[in-house]
Chain A
Amino acid sequence: MINISEVIETNKMIEKENLDVRTITMGISLLDCADGNLDRLCQNIYYKITKYARDLVRTGEDISKEFGIPIVNKRISITPISLVGGTACQKPEDYVKIAKTLDKAAQELGINFLGGYSAIVSKGMTKSDELLIRSIPQAMAETNFICSSVNVGSTKTGINMDAVRLMGEIVKETAERTKDKQSLGCAKLVVLCNAPDDNPFMAGAFHGVSEADAIINVGVSGPGVVKYALEQIRDANFEVLCETIKKTAFKITRVGQLVAQEASARLGVPFGIIDLSLAPTPAIDDTVADTLQEIGLEHAGAPGTTAALALLNDQVKKGGVMASSYVGGLSGAFIPVSEDQGMIDAVDCGCLTIEKLEAMTCVCSVGLDMIAIPGDTPATTISGIIADEAAIGMVNQKTTAVRIIPAIGMKVGDNVEFGGLLGHAPIMPVNTFDCSRFVNRQGRIPAPIHSFKN
Protein backbone atom coordinates (compact mmCIF):
# COMPACT_ATOMS: atom_id res chain seq x y z
CA MET A 1 0.00 0.00 0.00
CA ILE A 2 1.07 3.57 -0.63
CA ASN A 3 2.89 5.11 2.33
CA ILE A 4 2.81 8.63 3.66
CA SER A 5 6.27 9.66 2.43
CA GLU A 6 5.32 8.74 -1.13
CA VAL A 7 2.16 10.77 -0.86
CA ILE A 8 4.08 13.74 0.53
CA GLU A 9 6.65 13.45 -2.28
CA THR A 10 4.01 13.47 -5.03
CA ASN A 11 2.13 16.40 -3.56
CA LYS A 12 5.32 18.36 -3.09
CA MET A 13 6.13 17.88 -6.76
CA ILE A 14 2.72 19.28 -7.67
CA GLU A 15 2.54 22.13 -5.17
CA LYS A 16 6.14 23.31 -4.90
CA GLU A 17 7.95 22.08 -8.00
CA ASN A 18 5.41 22.90 -10.70
CA LEU A 19 4.67 19.34 -11.77
CA ASP A 20 1.79 19.47 -14.20
CA VAL A 21 0.38 17.84 -17.26
CA ARG A 22 1.08 20.44 -19.88
CA THR A 23 -1.53 19.40 -22.38
CA ILE A 24 -4.18 16.92 -23.35
CA THR A 25 -4.35 17.22 -27.11
CA MET A 26 -7.09 15.57 -29.11
CA GLY A 27 -6.06 14.81 -32.67
CA ILE A 28 -8.97 14.85 -35.12
CA SER A 29 -8.80 13.79 -38.76
CA LEU A 30 -10.59 16.19 -41.09
CA LEU A 31 -9.93 14.18 -44.25
CA ASP A 32 -13.58 13.13 -44.44
CA CYS A 33 -14.69 16.79 -44.27
CA ALA A 34 -13.28 17.62 -47.71
CA ASP A 35 -15.77 19.21 -50.10
CA GLY A 36 -15.52 21.26 -53.28
CA ASN A 37 -17.79 23.92 -51.85
CA LEU A 38 -16.06 26.20 -49.32
CA ASP A 39 -19.14 26.86 -47.17
CA ARG A 40 -19.98 23.18 -46.93
CA LEU A 41 -16.34 22.40 -46.12
CA CYS A 42 -16.35 24.93 -43.28
CA GLN A 43 -19.64 23.51 -42.01
CA ASN A 44 -18.27 19.96 -42.05
CA ILE A 45 -15.12 21.02 -40.21
CA TYR A 46 -16.99 22.98 -37.55
CA TYR A 47 -19.46 20.16 -37.01
CA LYS A 48 -16.84 17.43 -36.70
CA ILE A 49 -14.53 19.32 -34.34
CA THR A 50 -17.28 20.51 -32.02
CA LYS A 51 -18.85 17.04 -31.96
CA TYR A 52 -15.66 15.09 -31.23
CA ALA A 53 -14.18 17.51 -28.70
CA ARG A 54 -17.43 18.52 -27.00
CA ASP A 55 -16.36 17.08 -23.64
CA LEU A 56 -12.59 17.64 -23.91
CA VAL A 57 -12.31 20.65 -21.60
CA ARG A 58 -14.73 19.33 -18.98
CA THR A 59 -13.05 15.91 -18.95
CA GLY A 60 -9.66 17.57 -18.48
CA GLU A 61 -10.99 19.58 -15.56
CA ASP A 62 -12.64 16.54 -13.97
CA ILE A 63 -9.44 14.50 -14.15
CA SER A 64 -7.49 17.43 -12.77
CA LYS A 65 -9.80 17.69 -9.74
CA GLU A 66 -9.97 13.98 -9.00
CA PHE A 67 -6.24 13.35 -9.12
CA GLY A 68 -5.18 16.74 -7.82
CA ILE A 69 -2.83 17.39 -10.74
CA PRO A 70 -3.05 20.59 -12.81
CA ILE A 71 -3.77 20.03 -16.49
CA VAL A 72 -2.68 23.33 -17.98
CA ASN A 73 -3.90 23.12 -21.56
CA LYS A 74 -6.60 21.36 -23.51
CA ARG A 75 -5.87 21.50 -27.21
CA ILE A 76 -6.88 20.11 -30.56
CA SER A 77 -4.72 19.14 -33.51
CA ILE A 78 -6.20 18.58 -36.94
CA THR A 79 -5.20 17.18 -40.31
CA PRO A 80 -2.89 19.66 -42.09
CA ILE A 81 -5.49 21.93 -43.56
CA SER A 82 -3.81 22.16 -46.99
CA LEU A 83 -4.81 18.50 -47.48
CA VAL A 84 -8.45 19.26 -46.72
CA GLY A 85 -8.99 22.61 -48.43
CA GLY A 86 -7.40 21.78 -51.79
CA THR A 87 -10.49 21.64 -53.98
CA ALA A 88 -12.50 24.33 -52.18
CA CYS A 89 -9.84 27.03 -51.87
CA GLN A 90 -8.89 29.05 -54.94
CA LYS A 91 -7.16 31.96 -53.24
CA PRO A 92 -5.42 32.60 -49.87
CA GLU A 93 -8.54 34.37 -48.51
CA ASP A 94 -10.49 31.12 -48.90
CA TYR A 95 -8.08 29.47 -46.48
CA VAL A 96 -8.48 32.39 -44.07
CA LYS A 97 -12.18 31.59 -44.01
CA ILE A 98 -11.32 28.07 -42.86
CA ALA A 99 -9.00 29.56 -40.22
CA LYS A 100 -11.85 31.67 -38.89
CA THR A 101 -14.12 28.63 -38.78
CA LEU A 102 -11.49 26.77 -36.78
CA ASP A 103 -11.09 29.77 -34.47
CA LYS A 104 -14.84 29.85 -33.86
CA ALA A 105 -14.85 26.11 -33.05
CA ALA A 106 -11.92 26.57 -30.65
CA GLN A 107 -13.69 29.41 -28.88
CA GLU A 108 -16.93 27.48 -28.65
CA LEU A 109 -15.15 24.52 -27.05
CA GLY A 110 -13.11 26.65 -24.64
CA ILE A 111 -9.80 25.05 -25.66
CA ASN A 112 -6.47 26.89 -25.45
CA PHE A 113 -5.07 26.30 -28.93
CA LEU A 114 -5.90 24.51 -32.16
CA GLY A 115 -2.97 23.37 -34.30
CA GLY A 116 -2.88 22.08 -37.85
CA TYR A 117 -3.19 25.17 -40.00
CA SER A 118 -0.34 23.46 -41.72
CA ALA A 119 1.28 22.24 -44.90
CA ILE A 120 3.75 19.38 -45.37
CA VAL A 121 6.01 20.48 -48.20
CA SER A 122 9.27 18.69 -47.43
CA LYS A 123 9.87 17.83 -51.10
CA GLY A 124 7.53 19.97 -53.13
CA MET A 125 4.55 22.29 -52.87
CA THR A 126 1.15 21.69 -54.42
CA LYS A 127 -0.92 24.69 -55.47
CA SER A 128 -3.03 24.08 -52.39
CA ASP A 129 0.03 24.05 -50.10
CA GLU A 130 1.26 27.31 -51.54
CA LEU A 131 -2.12 29.03 -51.17
CA LEU A 132 -2.29 27.93 -47.55
CA ILE A 133 1.23 29.17 -46.82
CA ARG A 134 0.47 32.52 -48.44
CA SER A 135 -2.66 32.83 -46.28
CA ILE A 136 -0.76 32.34 -43.00
CA PRO A 137 0.01 36.03 -42.24
CA GLN A 138 -3.63 37.08 -42.59
CA ALA A 139 -4.88 33.97 -40.78
CA MET A 140 -2.52 34.60 -37.84
CA ALA A 141 -3.59 38.26 -37.71
CA GLU A 142 -7.32 37.54 -37.74
CA THR A 143 -7.60 34.54 -35.40
CA ASN A 144 -6.78 34.01 -31.72
CA PHE A 145 -6.44 30.27 -31.13
CA ILE A 146 -4.99 28.94 -34.37
CA CYS A 147 -1.42 27.66 -34.62
CA SER A 148 0.30 27.17 -37.92
CA SER A 149 3.22 25.01 -39.00
CA VAL A 150 5.01 24.21 -42.23
CA ASN A 151 7.28 21.19 -42.64
CA VAL A 152 10.00 22.16 -45.10
CA GLY A 153 12.28 19.14 -44.99
CA SER A 154 12.96 15.62 -43.79
CA THR A 155 15.78 13.10 -43.66
CA LYS A 156 14.05 11.06 -46.36
CA THR A 157 13.33 13.91 -48.77
CA GLY A 158 15.96 16.56 -48.20
CA ILE A 159 15.09 20.24 -47.77
CA ASN A 160 12.66 22.11 -49.98
CA MET A 161 14.59 25.36 -50.36
CA ASP A 162 11.77 27.01 -52.32
CA ALA A 163 9.59 26.54 -49.23
CA VAL A 164 12.40 27.74 -46.95
CA ARG A 165 12.74 30.93 -49.00
CA LEU A 166 8.97 31.48 -48.99
CA MET A 167 8.75 30.90 -45.22
CA GLY A 168 11.35 33.61 -44.57
CA GLU A 169 8.99 36.05 -46.29
CA ILE A 170 5.90 34.63 -44.57
CA VAL A 171 7.48 34.96 -41.11
CA LYS A 172 8.33 38.59 -41.88
CA GLU A 173 4.87 39.31 -43.23
CA THR A 174 3.21 37.65 -40.22
CA ALA A 175 5.30 39.85 -37.92
CA GLU A 176 4.28 42.92 -39.90
CA ARG A 177 0.58 41.99 -39.86
CA THR A 178 0.60 41.51 -36.09
CA LYS A 179 2.97 44.36 -35.19
CA ASP A 180 0.38 46.06 -32.98
CA LYS A 181 0.55 42.94 -30.78
CA GLN A 182 4.38 42.82 -30.67
CA SER A 183 4.39 40.51 -33.73
CA LEU A 184 2.57 37.83 -31.70
CA GLY A 185 1.50 36.02 -34.90
CA CYS A 186 5.03 34.63 -35.23
CA ALA A 187 4.74 32.97 -31.80
CA LYS A 188 2.03 30.77 -33.31
CA LEU A 189 3.93 29.89 -36.48
CA VAL A 190 6.66 27.28 -36.63
CA VAL A 191 8.78 25.96 -39.50
CA LEU A 192 9.74 22.32 -39.02
CA CYS A 193 11.98 19.59 -40.40
CA ASN A 194 11.03 15.93 -39.73
CA ALA A 195 7.76 17.02 -38.09
CA PRO A 196 6.11 14.14 -36.18
CA ASP A 197 2.48 13.22 -36.89
CA ASP A 198 1.48 12.96 -33.25
CA ASN A 199 3.01 15.97 -31.48
CA PRO A 200 0.71 17.39 -28.79
CA PHE A 201 2.75 20.59 -28.31
CA MET A 202 2.07 23.90 -30.02
CA ALA A 203 2.73 25.57 -32.33
CA GLY A 204 3.80 22.49 -34.30
CA ALA A 205 0.92 20.13 -33.49
CA PHE A 206 -1.03 18.60 -36.35
CA HIS A 207 -2.87 15.32 -36.83
CA GLY A 208 -0.83 13.50 -39.45
CA VAL A 209 -2.26 11.32 -42.21
CA SER A 210 -0.78 8.22 -40.57
CA GLU A 211 -3.13 8.70 -37.60
CA ALA A 212 -6.57 7.24 -36.80
CA ASP A 213 -9.82 9.23 -36.95
CA ALA A 214 -9.28 10.66 -33.46
CA ILE A 215 -6.62 10.18 -30.81
CA ILE A 216 -5.55 11.48 -27.40
CA ASN A 217 -1.95 12.60 -27.01
CA VAL A 218 -0.56 13.96 -23.76
CA GLY A 219 2.42 16.18 -23.05
CA VAL A 220 3.91 16.14 -19.55
CA SER A 221 6.14 18.75 -18.00
CA GLY A 222 8.31 19.08 -14.92
CA PRO A 223 11.73 20.73 -15.34
CA GLY A 224 11.20 22.10 -11.81
CA VAL A 225 10.88 18.58 -10.42
CA VAL A 226 14.13 17.49 -12.10
CA LYS A 227 15.90 20.58 -10.80
CA TYR A 228 14.72 19.93 -7.24
CA ALA A 229 15.83 16.29 -7.43
CA LEU A 230 19.26 17.39 -8.60
CA GLU A 231 19.57 19.89 -5.75
CA GLN A 232 19.40 16.93 -3.36
CA ILE A 233 22.48 15.27 -4.91
CA ARG A 234 24.56 18.36 -5.67
CA ASP A 235 28.14 17.56 -6.89
CA ALA A 236 27.47 13.83 -7.13
CA ASN A 237 29.20 11.94 -9.95
CA PHE A 238 27.71 11.48 -13.41
CA GLU A 239 26.31 8.05 -12.63
CA VAL A 240 24.27 9.38 -9.71
CA LEU A 241 23.30 12.47 -11.69
CA CYS A 242 21.98 10.43 -14.61
CA GLU A 243 20.18 7.92 -12.41
CA THR A 244 18.43 10.75 -10.55
CA ILE A 245 17.21 12.38 -13.76
CA LYS A 246 16.02 9.01 -15.06
CA LYS A 247 14.06 8.15 -11.94
CA THR A 248 12.47 11.59 -11.83
CA ALA A 249 11.51 11.43 -15.50
CA PHE A 250 9.93 8.05 -14.86
CA LYS A 251 7.72 9.47 -12.11
CA ILE A 252 6.70 12.51 -14.14
CA THR A 253 5.84 10.39 -17.14
CA ARG A 254 3.77 7.93 -15.13
CA VAL A 255 1.45 10.79 -14.20
CA GLY A 256 1.11 11.65 -17.89
CA GLN A 257 0.36 8.04 -18.73
CA LEU A 258 -2.35 7.90 -16.05
CA VAL A 259 -3.98 11.12 -17.26
CA ALA A 260 -3.80 9.98 -20.89
CA GLN A 261 -5.45 6.64 -20.11
CA GLU A 262 -8.19 8.30 -18.05
CA ALA A 263 -8.87 10.91 -20.73
CA SER A 264 -8.89 8.26 -23.43
CA ALA A 265 -11.37 6.07 -21.53
CA ARG A 266 -13.69 8.92 -20.55
CA LEU A 267 -13.77 10.48 -24.01
CA GLY A 268 -14.00 7.16 -25.82
CA VAL A 269 -11.04 8.11 -27.99
CA PRO A 270 -7.97 5.84 -28.32
CA PHE A 271 -4.76 6.77 -26.49
CA GLY A 272 -2.00 7.78 -28.91
CA ILE A 273 1.26 8.74 -27.26
CA ILE A 274 2.91 10.48 -24.35
CA ASP A 275 5.34 13.22 -25.31
CA LEU A 276 8.25 13.06 -22.87
CA SER A 277 9.34 16.64 -23.29
CA LEU A 278 10.55 18.73 -20.37
CA ALA A 279 8.52 21.85 -21.12
CA PRO A 280 9.35 25.00 -19.16
CA THR A 281 7.01 27.88 -18.33
CA PRO A 282 7.83 31.48 -17.46
CA ALA A 283 7.15 30.59 -13.77
CA ILE A 284 10.10 30.82 -11.41
CA ASP A 285 11.73 27.41 -10.87
CA ASP A 286 9.99 25.83 -13.86
CA THR A 287 12.90 26.18 -16.22
CA VAL A 288 15.20 23.91 -18.21
CA ALA A 289 17.94 26.58 -17.96
CA ASP A 290 17.95 26.36 -14.15
CA THR A 291 18.22 22.59 -14.40
CA LEU A 292 21.32 23.06 -16.58
CA GLN A 293 22.65 25.46 -13.94
CA GLU A 294 22.05 22.86 -11.26
CA ILE A 295 24.05 20.38 -13.35
CA GLY A 296 26.94 22.81 -12.95
CA LEU A 297 26.84 25.74 -15.38
CA GLU A 298 26.92 29.38 -14.30
CA HIS A 299 24.29 30.11 -16.95
CA ALA A 300 22.77 28.26 -19.89
CA GLY A 301 25.06 29.02 -22.82
CA ALA A 302 28.36 28.59 -20.96
CA PRO A 303 30.85 26.06 -22.36
CA GLY A 304 29.56 22.60 -21.44
CA THR A 305 25.93 23.55 -22.08
CA THR A 306 25.54 21.30 -25.12
CA ALA A 307 26.97 18.32 -23.26
CA ALA A 308 24.83 18.97 -20.18
CA LEU A 309 21.72 19.29 -22.32
CA ALA A 310 22.56 16.11 -24.27
CA LEU A 311 22.86 14.26 -20.99
CA LEU A 312 19.63 15.72 -19.62
CA ASN A 313 17.70 14.95 -22.79
CA ASP A 314 18.93 11.37 -23.02
CA GLN A 315 18.21 10.55 -19.38
CA VAL A 316 14.70 12.03 -19.60
CA LYS A 317 14.01 9.70 -22.53
CA LYS A 318 15.50 6.67 -20.82
CA GLY A 319 13.41 7.25 -17.70
CA GLY A 320 10.27 8.15 -19.59
CA VAL A 321 10.24 5.33 -22.10
CA MET A 322 9.59 2.67 -19.49
CA ALA A 323 6.88 4.74 -17.83
CA SER A 324 4.63 4.86 -20.87
CA SER A 325 3.25 2.23 -23.20
CA TYR A 326 3.61 4.52 -26.23
CA VAL A 327 6.05 7.39 -26.54
CA GLY A 328 6.08 9.81 -29.43
CA GLY A 329 5.78 13.44 -30.44
CA LEU A 330 8.88 15.51 -29.84
CA SER A 331 10.08 13.89 -26.59
CA GLY A 332 13.08 15.78 -25.29
CA ALA A 333 13.90 18.98 -23.46
CA PHE A 334 12.47 22.19 -24.88
CA ILE A 335 14.62 25.28 -24.89
CA PRO A 336 12.27 28.12 -25.80
CA VAL A 337 13.80 31.43 -24.81
CA SER A 338 10.76 33.57 -23.99
CA GLU A 339 8.99 30.78 -22.08
CA ASP A 340 11.90 30.01 -19.77
CA GLN A 341 12.98 32.57 -17.17
CA GLY A 342 16.43 31.00 -16.87
CA MET A 343 16.99 31.31 -20.64
CA ILE A 344 15.86 34.93 -20.58
CA ASP A 345 18.33 35.67 -17.77
CA ALA A 346 21.08 33.91 -19.72
CA VAL A 347 20.39 36.08 -22.78
CA ASP A 348 20.19 39.24 -20.67
CA CYS A 349 23.60 38.66 -19.11
CA GLY A 350 25.17 37.96 -22.51
CA CYS A 351 25.86 34.27 -21.91
CA LEU A 352 23.43 32.81 -24.45
CA THR A 353 23.52 33.59 -28.17
CA ILE A 354 21.56 32.33 -31.17
CA GLU A 355 24.65 30.44 -32.33
CA LYS A 356 24.92 28.57 -29.01
CA LEU A 357 21.19 27.85 -29.10
CA GLU A 358 21.68 26.39 -32.56
CA ALA A 359 24.35 24.05 -31.22
CA MET A 360 22.03 23.06 -28.37
CA THR A 361 19.29 22.12 -30.84
CA CYS A 362 21.56 19.36 -32.19
CA VAL A 363 21.08 17.38 -28.99
CA CYS A 364 17.56 18.15 -27.81
CA SER A 365 14.10 18.84 -29.05
CA VAL A 366 13.19 20.95 -30.78
CA GLY A 367 14.92 23.97 -32.26
CA LEU A 368 15.31 27.72 -32.21
CA ASP A 369 12.17 28.38 -30.27
CA MET A 370 10.50 31.64 -29.24
CA ILE A 371 13.48 33.79 -30.09
CA ALA A 372 12.88 37.49 -30.70
CA ILE A 373 15.16 39.17 -33.23
CA PRO A 374 15.34 42.73 -34.60
CA GLY A 375 12.34 43.65 -36.78
CA ASP A 376 14.55 44.80 -39.64
CA THR A 377 16.16 41.38 -40.11
CA PRO A 378 15.89 40.57 -43.86
CA ALA A 379 13.60 37.70 -44.94
CA THR A 380 16.58 35.97 -46.57
CA THR A 381 18.44 35.92 -43.25
CA ILE A 382 15.42 34.31 -41.59
CA SER A 383 15.37 31.76 -44.43
CA GLY A 384 19.08 31.14 -43.83
CA ILE A 385 18.38 30.47 -40.13
CA ILE A 386 15.53 28.11 -41.10
CA ALA A 387 17.79 26.29 -43.58
CA ASP A 388 20.49 25.81 -40.94
CA GLU A 389 18.03 24.32 -38.46
CA ALA A 390 16.42 22.12 -41.13
CA ALA A 391 19.89 20.84 -42.08
CA ILE A 392 20.58 19.86 -38.46
CA GLY A 393 17.29 17.96 -38.38
CA MET A 394 17.81 16.33 -41.76
CA VAL A 395 21.33 15.10 -41.07
CA ASN A 396 20.71 14.02 -37.47
CA GLN A 397 17.38 12.33 -38.26
CA LYS A 398 15.58 14.36 -35.62
CA THR A 399 12.86 16.97 -35.49
CA THR A 400 14.05 20.55 -35.59
CA ALA A 401 12.09 23.76 -35.83
CA VAL A 402 12.32 27.51 -36.02
CA ARG A 403 9.84 29.73 -34.21
CA ILE A 404 11.41 33.12 -34.50
CA ILE A 405 9.86 36.54 -33.97
CA PRO A 406 11.22 39.47 -35.96
CA ALA A 407 9.62 42.06 -33.65
CA ILE A 408 8.68 44.94 -35.91
CA GLY A 409 10.06 48.30 -34.79
CA MET A 410 12.31 46.76 -32.17
CA LYS A 411 16.07 46.40 -31.92
CA VAL A 412 18.65 44.66 -29.73
CA GLY A 413 18.16 45.79 -26.14
CA ASP A 414 14.38 46.01 -26.39
CA ASN A 415 11.97 43.49 -24.87
CA VAL A 416 8.82 41.89 -26.28
CA GLU A 417 6.03 40.88 -23.93
CA PHE A 418 3.63 38.15 -25.13
CA GLY A 419 2.04 37.32 -21.79
CA GLY A 420 0.81 34.01 -20.37
CA LEU A 421 2.68 30.83 -21.24
CA LEU A 422 4.41 32.59 -24.15
CA GLY A 423 6.31 34.84 -21.72
CA HIS A 424 8.60 37.69 -22.72
CA ALA A 425 11.88 37.90 -24.61
CA PRO A 426 14.85 40.20 -25.04
CA ILE A 427 15.64 40.95 -28.71
CA MET A 428 18.71 38.90 -29.62
CA PRO A 429 21.33 40.02 -32.13
CA VAL A 430 21.46 38.17 -35.44
CA ASN A 431 24.55 37.68 -37.61
CA THR A 432 24.16 40.48 -40.16
CA PHE A 433 26.29 39.01 -42.95
CA ASP A 434 24.30 38.25 -46.08
CA CYS A 435 23.11 34.82 -47.31
CA SER A 436 20.68 35.92 -50.02
CA ARG A 437 22.60 34.38 -52.93
CA PHE A 438 22.40 31.01 -51.21
CA VAL A 439 18.75 31.32 -50.21
CA ASN A 440 17.65 32.64 -53.62
CA ARG A 441 18.80 29.51 -55.46
CA GLN A 442 15.83 27.52 -56.77
CA GLY A 443 14.98 23.91 -55.95
CA ARG A 444 15.84 21.60 -53.08
CA ILE A 445 18.73 20.14 -51.15
CA PRO A 446 18.93 16.37 -51.82
CA ALA A 447 18.36 13.84 -49.05
CA PRO A 448 21.52 12.89 -47.13
CA ILE A 449 23.33 9.66 -47.98
CA HIS A 450 22.39 7.94 -44.72
CA SER A 451 18.69 8.21 -45.56
CA PHE A 452 19.09 5.41 -48.13
CA LYS A 453 18.69 2.55 -45.72
CA ASN A 454 16.77 0.09 -47.89
Chain B
Amino acid sequence: MNKTIITVVGKDTVGIIAKVCTYLADNNVNILDISQTIVQEYFNMMMIVDMSTLKKPFEVAAQELNQIGEQMGVQVKCQREEIFDKMHRI
Protein backbone atom coordinates (compact mmCIF):
# COMPACT_ATOMS: atom_id res chain seq x y z
CA MET B 1 0.00 0.00 0.00
CA ASN B 2 1.20 3.49 -0.87
CA LYS B 3 -0.76 5.78 1.40
CA THR B 4 -1.03 9.38 0.33
CA ILE B 5 -2.78 12.33 1.93
CA ILE B 6 -4.71 14.67 -0.35
CA THR B 7 -5.71 17.97 1.23
CA VAL B 8 -8.09 20.55 -0.19
CA VAL B 9 -8.09 24.01 1.38
CA GLY B 10 -10.05 27.06 0.25
CA LYS B 11 -13.45 28.68 0.02
CA ASP B 12 -16.28 26.19 0.07
CA THR B 13 -17.98 25.69 -3.29
CA VAL B 14 -20.23 23.16 -5.03
CA GLY B 15 -18.60 20.02 -6.36
CA ILE B 16 -15.13 20.12 -4.83
CA ILE B 17 -15.22 16.58 -3.51
CA ALA B 18 -16.97 15.32 -6.66
CA LYS B 19 -14.27 16.68 -8.95
CA VAL B 20 -11.39 15.30 -6.89
CA CYS B 21 -13.10 11.92 -6.50
CA THR B 22 -13.83 11.70 -10.21
CA TYR B 23 -10.17 12.31 -10.98
CA LEU B 24 -9.13 9.63 -8.48
CA ALA B 25 -11.62 7.10 -9.89
CA ASP B 26 -10.47 7.81 -13.45
CA ASN B 27 -6.90 7.14 -12.35
CA ASN B 28 -7.62 3.95 -10.44
CA VAL B 29 -6.90 5.39 -6.99
CA ASN B 30 -8.79 3.90 -4.03
CA ILE B 31 -10.03 6.25 -1.29
CA LEU B 32 -9.51 4.86 2.22
CA ASP B 33 -10.85 7.70 4.35
CA ILE B 34 -12.34 11.17 3.98
CA SER B 35 -12.81 13.85 6.61
CA GLN B 36 -13.54 17.54 6.43
CA THR B 37 -13.82 20.53 8.70
CA ILE B 38 -14.19 24.30 8.53
CA VAL B 39 -11.25 26.24 10.03
CA GLN B 40 -11.63 30.04 10.19
CA GLU B 41 -14.28 29.95 7.44
CA TYR B 42 -12.03 27.90 5.20
CA PHE B 43 -13.02 24.52 3.88
CA ASN B 44 -10.47 21.85 4.84
CA MET B 45 -10.77 18.36 3.46
CA MET B 46 -8.40 15.48 3.90
CA MET B 47 -8.45 12.20 2.03
CA ILE B 48 -6.30 9.19 2.71
CA VAL B 49 -5.87 7.31 -0.57
CA ASP B 50 -3.90 4.34 -1.81
CA MET B 51 -1.69 5.32 -4.73
CA SER B 52 -0.19 1.85 -5.33
CA THR B 53 -2.55 1.24 -8.26
CA LEU B 54 -1.96 4.66 -9.83
CA LYS B 55 -1.03 4.30 -13.48
CA LYS B 56 1.07 7.46 -13.83
CA PRO B 57 4.02 8.94 -11.93
CA PHE B 58 3.18 10.42 -8.50
CA GLU B 59 4.30 13.91 -9.40
CA VAL B 60 2.12 14.00 -12.53
CA ALA B 61 -0.97 13.09 -10.49
CA ALA B 62 0.01 15.67 -7.86
CA GLN B 63 0.30 18.34 -10.50
CA GLU B 64 -2.99 17.43 -12.21
CA LEU B 65 -4.82 17.48 -8.88
CA ASN B 66 -3.28 20.86 -8.20
CA GLN B 67 -4.62 22.13 -11.54
CA ILE B 68 -8.12 20.83 -10.76
CA GLY B 69 -7.89 22.79 -7.50
CA GLU B 70 -6.83 25.95 -9.29
CA GLN B 71 -9.87 25.74 -11.58
CA MET B 72 -12.11 25.76 -8.50
CA GLY B 73 -10.10 28.36 -6.62
CA VAL B 74 -8.91 25.97 -3.92
CA GLN B 75 -5.53 24.53 -3.09
CA VAL B 76 -5.10 20.79 -3.58
CA LYS B 77 -1.97 19.16 -2.19
CA CYS B 78 -0.81 15.61 -2.52
CA GLN B 79 1.74 14.34 -0.01
CA ARG B 80 2.94 10.91 1.02
CA GLU B 81 1.57 9.91 4.39
CA GLU B 82 4.94 9.37 6.07
CA ILE B 83 5.58 13.08 6.66
CA PHE B 84 2.49 13.31 8.89
CA ASP B 85 3.00 9.92 10.44
CA LYS B 86 6.61 10.64 11.40
CA MET B 87 5.78 14.03 12.85
CA HIS B 88 2.78 13.03 14.94
CA ARG B 89 3.46 9.40 15.92
CA ILE B 90 6.35 7.98 17.91
Contact = CB atoms under 8 A, between A and B. Distances in A.
Interface stretch (A30-38, A208-216, A251-259, A401-409): A251-259
Contact of A2 (B36, B59, B62, B88): B88
A189 B45 CA distance: 48
A102 B78 CA distance: 37
A63 to B, nearest CB: 9
Interface residues on chain B, size class: 20 to 34
Interface string A229-271: 0000000000000000000000100110110000000000000
A257 B90 CA distance: 13
Contacts of B35: 3-4
Give the interface centre of B5, B37, B86, B87 by most chain A CB atoms within 10 Å.
B87
Contacts, number: 64
Interface string B22-55: 0000000000010111010000101010000000
A257 B12 CA distance: 36
A6 B86 contact: no
A85 B81 CA distance: 46
A65 interface: yes
Given A65-B62, A66-B58, A1 B83 contact: no
A258 B62 contact: no
A5 B83 CA distance: 14
A69 B83 contact: yes
A414 interface: no
Chain B, interface SS category? strand
A68 B83 contact: yes
B84 A10 contact: yes
Contacts of A6: 84, 87-88
Given A11-B77, A68-B77, A2 B86 contact: no
B37 A4 contact: yes
A327 to B, nearest CB: 16
A7 interface: yes
A2 B81 contact: yes
Contacts of A7: 5, 7, 46, 84
Interface of A: 1-11, 62, 65-69, 251, 254-255, 257-258
